[in-house]
Structure 1
Amino acid sequence: MATAAALHVLAAVAALVVAVAAGDSDPGKIGICHGRVGSNLPRPSAAAALLRQNGITKARLFLPDPAVLPAFAAAGLDLTVGVPNENLTFLSASGPDGAAQWLRSAVFAYAPADRVRYLAVGNEVLYNNQFYAPHLVPAMRNLHAALVSLGLDARVKVSSAHASSVLAASYPPSAGAFDAASLPVLRPMLRFLADTGAPFMVNTYPFISHVNDPANVQLAYAVFGDGAAPVRDGAMVYTNLFDATVDAVVAALEREGFGAVPVAVTETGWPTAGHPAATPENAAAYNAKIVERAARGVGTPRRPGAPVETFLFDLYDEDGKPGAEFERHFGIFKADGSKAYDINFA
Structure 2
Amino acid sequence: MSNVLILLFLAALVFQASSDSNKIGICHGRVGNDLPSPYAASLLLKSNGISKVRLFLPDPTVLPAFNSAGIELMIGVPNENLTYLASSDANLAVNWLRSNIFTFVSPDHIRYLVVGNEVLYKDTFYSQYLVPAINNIYKALQMLGLDKKIKLSSAHASSVLSSSYPPSAGAFDQQLLSVLLPMLQFLNQTGSPFMVNTYPFFSYINDPINVPLNYALFGPDAVSVKDGDLAYTNLFDATIDAIVAAMEREGFKGIPVIVTETGWPTAGHVVATKENAAIYNGKIVERVRNRVGTPKLPGVPVEVYLFDLYDENLKSGGEFEKHFGIFNLDGSKLYNIDFS
The alignment's TM-score, normalised by the length of structure 2, stands at: 0.95
Tell me, yes or no, if the aligned pair for 1:321 and 1:328 is still in contact at 8 Å: yes
State the alpha-carbon separation in 1 of the partners of residues 109 and 259 from structure 2: 20
Find the counterpart in structure 2 of residue 279 from structure 1. Answer: 273
State the alpha-carbon separation in 1 of the partners of residues 186 and 274 from structure 2: 40
State the alpha-carbon separation in 2 of the partners of residues 56 and 256 from structure 1: 36
Find the counterpart in structure 2 of residue 184 from structure 1. Answer: 178
Q: Over the residues paired in the alignment, what is the CA RMSD in angstroms? A: 1.4
Structure 2 segments unaligned to the other structure (5+ residues):
1-10
Find the counterpart in structure 2 of residue 319 from structure 1. Answer: 313
Find the counterpart in structure 2 of residue 81 from structure 1. Answer: 75
Q: 1:278 to 1:262 in 2, by over 3 A?
A: same
Deviations 1:220-239 (A, max 9, x none): 11000101011000000000
Find the counterpart in structure 1 of residue 203 from structure 2. Answer: 209
- 1:147 is aligned to 2:166: no
State the alpha-carbon separation in 2 of the partners of residues 338 and 226 from structure 1: 28
Q: Measure how far apart 1:72 and its partner are.
A: 1.3
Q: Measure how far apart 1:70 and its partner are.
A: 1.1
State the alpha-carbon separation in 2 of the partners of residues 256 and 162 from structure 1: 17
The AA in structure 1 aligned to 2:197 is N
Structure 1 segments unaligned to the other structure (5+ residues):
1-16
Question: Pick from 257, 268, 273: which aligns with 1:263?
Answer: 257
State the SS of the aligned residue for 2:21: coil
- 1:58 is aligned to 2:52: yes
State the alpha-carbon separation in 1 of the partners of residues 247 and 211 from structure 2: 24
Question: Pick from 235, 239, 242: which aligns with 1:241?
Answer: 235
For residues 1-346 of structure 1, the aligned pairs below 5 Å read: 26-346=20-340
Structure 1 residues 317-326 or 67-76, which shifts more? 67-76
Q: Measure how far apart 1:27 and its partner are.
A: 2.4
State the alpha-carbon separation in 2 of the partners of residues 21 and 194 from structure 1: 23
The AA in structure 2 aligned to 1:163 is A
State the alpha-carbon separation in 2 of the partners of residues 331 and 301 from structure 1: 29
The AA in structure 1 aligned to 2:148 is A
Q: Measure how far apart 1:34 and its partner are.
A: 0.2
Q: 1:302 to 1:46 in 2, by over 3 A?
A: same
Q: Measure how far apart 1:68 and its partner are.
A: 1.0
Runs of 4+ in 1 over 3 A off after TM superposition: 19-25
The AA in structure 1 aligned to 2:201 is F
Find the counterpart in structure 1 of residue 4 from structure 2. Answer: none
Q: Measure how far apart 1:28 and its partner are.
A: 2.4
Q: Measure how far apart 1:67 and its partner are.
A: 1.1
Deviations 1:132-169 (A, max 9, x none): 00000000010011001000011100000000000000
Tell me, yes or no, if the aligned pair for 1:23 and 1:155 is still in contact at 8 Å: no
The AA in structure 2 aligned to 1:311 is Y
Deviations 1:227-276 (A, max 9, x none): 10110000000000000000000000110111110000000000000000
State the SS of the aligned residue for 1:118: strand
The alignment's TM-score, normalised by the length of structure 1, stands at: 0.93
For these two proteins, the number of residue pairs brought into alignment is 329
State the alpha-carbon separation in 2 of the partners of residues 150 and 201 from structure 1: 24
State the alpha-carbon separation in 2 of the partners of residues 25 and 144 from structure 1: 26
State the SS of the aligned residue for 1:287: helix
Q: 1:316 to 1:185 in 2, by over 3 A?
A: same
Tell me, yes or no, if the aligned pair for 1:22 and 1:154 is still in contact at 8 Å: no
State the alpha-carbon separation in 1 of the partners of residues 277 and 235 from structure 2: 15
Tell me, yes or no, if the aligned pair for 1:20 and 1:26 is still in contact at 8 Å: no
State the alpha-carbon separation in 1 of the partners of residues 18 and 260 from structure 2: 16
